[in-house]
Amino acid sequence: MQQFAGADALPQAIFGHSQGETELSGVSQGDHEALGEEQGFQGPELELDAEPEEVVRRIQSAALWFISQLAEGVLPDIELVSRTASNRALTAAGGDEGAEGNGEEGAGSRGGPRHFVLRLQQGTQCRSLVGRHPESAEQVARLWVLLGAVHAMLLSGEQATQRELWYRFKTLEVFRSPRDVNEAIQDAVSMLQVPRSALAITASSKGLVGGRLVIHNRRSGTETDCSLAASGVAVPGDVAAILQDLAFQTDAQLILVVEKDAVFQRLLQQKFFDRVPSIICTGKGMPDLATRAYLSSLSLAFPHLPVVGLVDWNPAGVSILSIYRFGSHRMGLESPHYALPALGWLGAHSSQLRRADADAFQELSARDRSQAASLAATLEQACPCWAEELRQMLASGAKAELEALDTAEDLLDLLERCILEGGCI
């Protein structure tokens, strides 16, 4: 039985082209790739700046290989990087001279954690028409349906969100839920070794950015001053456009990532970015890919700026912060490219809540306890100070939202003091 093992298995005449670099606020696409190499990424590298013509060639070559195998009476396997839990790990970033988190010279990290990101390792899995489970053949079918749609979009210059693809495919028997579309996309990313943005698939962004940031769109020639946007500027859903078209200018001293839109809006309305020169961004809860890519681009454009997070003091808040910092297993091979490995936890944490009103706390649920224990175990080596914060949460049996900080001290005063005194963990 023949196996297809991704882009490296296809003719070099198709995949062996030279790659250019696109400047991004002084940071090139090549720097994005170099970052992945510097961090010791063990799975295959993605070609982040693959041109549409190149992706079309890869799809056509893969299809010709698959059809030729079938014509010869062979049922081919498609070998992909495994996305199972056993094939992913939090691993230390390579070249970690600055492995002090946000450090005392940045936002004042107390623990000085090393930099880690979530990466897939070298394990593989096969998509087979004759797999022992019927789902295996359906996975192959879903992959080719998706690739057919991607091929057509690339040729026509169209784009679609994952949600739009789900509505397009939901009438097909092999697509039973949006998760099936996401799995097919991740299979395509692994097979072609390009990110979803190169597949003409955009994200459904809900992120906002505000504060001391001017955005230059090289494609449209427009300029946006985020400090003048009362409710923030929307993060675009096209990740490729974020990486290729946008350039940034700032006089900020840090980048502040906020979990909640309500807190984000308050910081903008009260012009916190003038009290502490800052760029402020929110993903409105669990971050989407576009918001993470946007923050990654900002961090690469301004590597001297510390990046700090503001989340609820509960397991869900720590989970959100961890996705920003380490990446998400749901994003497979793409995840480490959009991680913020030096992200510090500005608040809320236990030391800031000691004087908060008792009625500002809620009891941890059984699900909260399970999630906190699991996160603490995962973070023990990569970020022991975060793991310790989770253990304190478990020991207290309580959790609190960001708004609880206001019962002890004005939120903006507290944030300014913590930033100036180095209150980040």
What positions carry a catalytic annotation? Answer: 167
The three-state secondary structure class of 1 is: coil
What pairing do the DSSP bridges indicate for beta strands 77-81 and 124-128?
antiparallel
Cα distances (angstroms) measured from residue 74 to each of 35, 131, 143, 173, 331: 40, 14, 19, 25, 32
* Positive or negative: CA dihedral 172, 174, 179, 181: negative
Q: Where are the beta strands (DSSP E) in 82-156?
A: 88-92, 116-120, 124-128
B/e letters for 255-266, b = 16+ CB within 10 Å, e = fewer, are bbbbbbbebbbb
CA distance linking residue 257 with residue 344, whole number of Å: 10
The sign of the torsion formed by the CA atoms of 406, 281, 160, 6 equals negative
In 3D, which of 236, 358, 344 has the Cα closest to residue 297? 236
Q: In the chain, how many H helices and how many E strands?
A: 14, 20
Q: Is 362 left (phi over 0), alpha (psi -120 to 50) or beta?
A: beta
Q: With contact defined as beta carbons under 8 Å apart, do 188 and 199 qualify?
A: yes
User: Per this entry, what is the length of the chain?
Assistant: 425
CA distance 265 to 371: 29
3-state secondary structure of 246: strand
SS3 183: helix
Q: Which long-range contacts (CB under 8 A, 24 or more apart) does 155-159 make?
A: 155/56, 157/52, 158/200, 159/200, 159/201, 159/202, 159/238
CA distance between the termini of the chain: 52
**Residue 418: phi, psi to the nearest 5?**
-65, -40
| Contact yes or no for 214/225 (Cβ under 8 A) | yes
Measure the CA dihedral 411/412/415/417, to 10°.
Answer: -110
